[in-house]
Structure 1
Amino acid sequence: MSPFKKYAIGAGAAILLSLFFLDGWLMWLVILGVIGLPVVGYLMLDPSQRERLKRSRRRGIGR
């Protein structure tokens, strides 16, 4: 299973659990965190770091 699929399943599980067990505003904070934190982390990278990350995805880390 690819890492992307693992992350998507984990995010989906976190969102479903927050829908059933948390109140309104807290649920939205969890959903925002699950979606927003990886996006903000990626956008904080320099262009050279983004390119390096793209290359490591294609080849695999450590190869």
Structure 2
Amino acid sequence: MSPLAKYYLGAGIVSILALLIIPSTITWILVIAGLAAPVAAYFMLDESQRRRLRRIRRRQIGR
């Protein structure tokens, strides 16, 4: 399993545990913010940076 997949798995487990332990609106807001952060970062890129990001393969990201 790649290191990135381990991070995603850990984040998913922490999100589920937070929802089970603290079932409130704040937990839902935190989970949605955690999912929305990469999307917001993508939209903050210039068009040329987005094009370059789409052009490279997934395994090249992080080198």
TM norm structure 2: 0.66
The number of residue pairs the alignment matches comes to 61
Name the counterpart of 1:50: 50
1:61 offset after TM fit, Å?
A: 4.7
TM-score normalized by the length of structure 1:
0.66
Runs of 4+ in 1 over 6 A off after TM superposition: none
* Root mean square deviation, CA, Å: 2.3
Gaps of 5+ in 1: none
Alignment correspondent of 1:22: 22
Q: Deviations over 1:12-35 (max 9, x none)?
A: 123112112223111111111121
Alpha carbons 1:18, 1:30 under 8 Å: kept: no
**Structure 2: where are the runs of 5+ without partners?**
none
Higher relative contact order (CA 8 A, sep 6+): 1
